[in-house]
Amino acid sequence: MRTTYIIILALVLLAFALSAAAYPYAPEQVASHWNAQGQVDGYMSKFWGLFFLPLLLVGLVALFWGLPKIDPLKANIEQFRTQYETFVIIFLAFMVVIHGQVLLWNMGIQISLNLTLPILFGGLMFYTGILVEKAKRNWFIGIRTPWTLSSDAVWNKTHQAGGKLYKLTGILCLVGLLFQEYAVFFFLAPVILVSIYLVVYSYVEYRKEM
């Protein structure tokens, strides 16, 4: 756990360091949002454009750290704590890489997000599948519906199915590399469809059990 905390702290500090290094070279209006075609359609002031994400990471780390401590079923979380902490590291690394790419864009090195997001988001979703397969019933982490939270059996069935589907989603994200103009749809559409399916699946499994 100590190694995990060191890595997490290093990632947050790296995000701040990158912003500080980019500050003298960034424009007064920083590109901060891109549309589905990878074109800039939103700007922020220089300070917030550079430091919003590092500050957001501080809040996310506090959230990731605090949730397992206040969960009434925190003993269950301990059973997949390794996978959970690895997910936190991967998620923060994902955010820092995107942050670095945004900084480069604003300094004139413009690499399309539609080129990198399919790979980065695909990897994140694939590991989400691994986390979901290992997750035990709790109130904050996993596929939380009224029916999974009411039954260990329904929780386990739903999460085994969800793990496979999220891994498949991660692979489908890579197809966006072939159709970069529509890359966003290759990871948003599968995530939405899989999430809807799993809600329905958990209800059906609960009805069977009852």
132-171: pLDDT as tens digits: 999 999 999 999 999 999 999 999 999 999 999 999 999 9
**DSSP helix/strand/coil, 135:** coil
29-78: pLDDT as tens digits: 999 888 877 788 889 999 999 999 999 999 999 999 999 999 999 999 99
Whether 180 contacts 112, CB under 8 Å: yes
Render the burial of 161-188: b for 16+ CB within 10 Å, e for the rest: bbbebbbebbebbbbbbeebeebbebbe
Residue type at position 129: G
Is the predicted pLDDT of residue 1 greater than 70, yes or no? no
What is the model's pTM? Answer: 0.92
Domain boundaries in the chain?
1-111, 112-210
1/49: higher pLDDT: 49
Positive or negative, the CA dihedral 203, 204, 206, 210 is positive
**pLDDT given at position 203:** 97
- What is the mean predicted confidence (pLDDT) over 100-113? 91
